[in-house]
Structure 1
């Protein structure tokens, strides 16, 4: 074998060595990525359910009162609360969307009104369409 062949063989061995290392690192990172979700579920169940129940087993605590209270709740009693909460959230979200739209369109409308009547005065509303806070007190 010539010196060039030895050099090419050494380079090929080095390439194979680094390819193997890369594949091992890639395998390890993929394994860790796939293990994280189930491990997290186990940890959440252990620390969120099992450990607290184990610590409170056989003791009279506020948690006992809460569990008894939840056990006595009937579906017919919960539905109005859920409907009320959903209605309230819908209303809050609709108000937020309406104010965001007003804020987005304010500059355009103001410019159009100034173009039509340059002596027009402002209503004093905020860009979101709300009444401004009293500044004279």
Structure 2
């Protein structure tokens, strides 16, 4: 839990009011933070209570999805999402490598102006000419 601020020993004029205002603000923030999750849980409870024992579209959908084999759609969806995530992550990593590679290169050139390049691409990939 967050450490609570303590009032100073000697207070300048108006500082106590400021301290009380800050404490009130902290209490309101805590109430909002935990009240939000409590409200979500309560709304979920009310929704389940309302649907209990009734045949609804949700019941039909759950029954249909339950009868479908997981291998038919679940694995395919997981594979698709994984591929999209991996491609996005690779693109981000290459872009970040390119962004971060310039500063060390410039610093190394300052230390040794005769330094030669390793031949790597700015994104960190192997030079196409080096591939067999």
Coarse TM-score class (shorter-chain normalised): 0.3 to 0.5
Q: Normalised by the size of structure 2, how large is the TM-score? A: 0.43
Who wins on radius of gyration, i.e. which is larger?
Answer: 1
Higher relative helix content: 1
Q: Normalised by the size of structure 1, how large is the TM-score? A: 0.41
